[in-house]
Amino acid sequence: MQIKQTKSFERELKKLVKKHFPITVLKPCLKAIVEQDVHVLKQIKDHALKGNWRGYREFHPARYGNYGKNYDNWIVIYRLDHDELILLLVATGSHEILNQ
């Protein structure tokens, strides 16, 4: 499965690096999505989105490393499109990004 990052994802990821977010947890989270590792998917609270975001999914990467509440609002929104995992954006803060 190919992983494709959007430009907005790349920009947001750079911001997270500057803020010292534990971005190393992204790789095992993405691996869990590709391999459908149910245990990890539950741990990172992977779930489908509703409403205007139907067809997309989100997960909380910091839950993989048990980083606590400091990074709990960090979400990654993605879409599975045939054999391609498309990473749309990283949101820091609350789920308000979903209301835009």
User: What domains does the chain contain, in order, with CATH numbers?
Assistant: 2-99 (3.30.2310.20)
pLDDT band at 41 (very low <50, low <70, confident <90, very high): very high
Q: What percent of the chain has pLDDT over 70?
A: 91
The answer on pLDDT for 26 being more than 90 is: yes
pLDDT bin (cut points 50, 70, 90) of residue 100 is low
And the tokens for 50?
């509703």
E-strand stretches of 1-100: 2-5, 47-48, 57-59, 75-81, 84-91
CB atoms inside a 10 Å sphere around CB 88:
19
Q: How far is CA 43 from CA 36, 59, 94, in A?
A: 13, 9, 19
